[in-house]
Amino acid sequence: MPSHATVRIGGPKSPGERLYVQGFPAPAQTSLPPVSLRVTVDGVQLPESKVDLGGSNFEAYFPLPNEEVGKKELLIGLQVDRTIHNGADTRELGLNVGVLEIR
């Protein structure tokens, strides 16, 4: 994803479920400090998470408001505080997200 992205997914089935984000860093990110990942759910800001990109992958969990339980669809917004450019690639690269699910 670039500096921000949105996705629609099904809502949680029960209270206490969380949003799980898993991915991997681009090689140019592994020597950089953690990025701040901000998540919104239907426009509501969740607690910010620092994502360490120094390993082979990353994961972050976010609590979901109980009001979201049972909703057919949620609009998830993801935003990072910085991006990189990888070599001659002129795109803004923020995070490589492989899994985004509620569990």
| Mean pLDDT of the region 39-66 | 95
Is 63 part of a structural domain of the chain? yes
Q: What is the C-alpha to C-alpha distance for residues 9 and 29, in angstroms, rounded to an integer?
A: 28
Is the pTM value of this prediction over 0.85? Answer: yes
Q: What is the C-alpha to C-alpha distance for residues 86 and 73, in angstroms, rounded to an integer?
A: 34
The confidence score (pLDDT) of residue 85 equals: 87
Whose structure tokens read 């803004």?
A: 92
Is 89 part of a structural domain of the chain? no
Number of domains comprising the chain: 1
Is 101 part of a structural domain of the chain? no
Is 50 part of a structural domain of the chain? yes
The length of the chain, given as a count of residues: 103
Q: What is the C-alpha to C-alpha distance for residues 21 and 1, in angstroms, rounded to an integer?
A: 13
The confidence score (pLDDT) of residue 88 equals: 86
The confidence score (pLDDT) of residue 38 equals: 97
Q: What residues make up the domain containing 77?
A: 4-82
Is 54 part of a structural domain of the chain? yes
Is 91 part of a structural domain of the chain? no
Average pLDDT, the chain: 94
- What's the pLDDT tens digit per position in 10-48? 999 999 999 999 999 988 899 999 999 999 999 999 999
pLDDT over 90 at 74, yes or no: yes
Question: What is the dihedral sign for C-alpha 7, 76, 19, 23?
Answer: positive
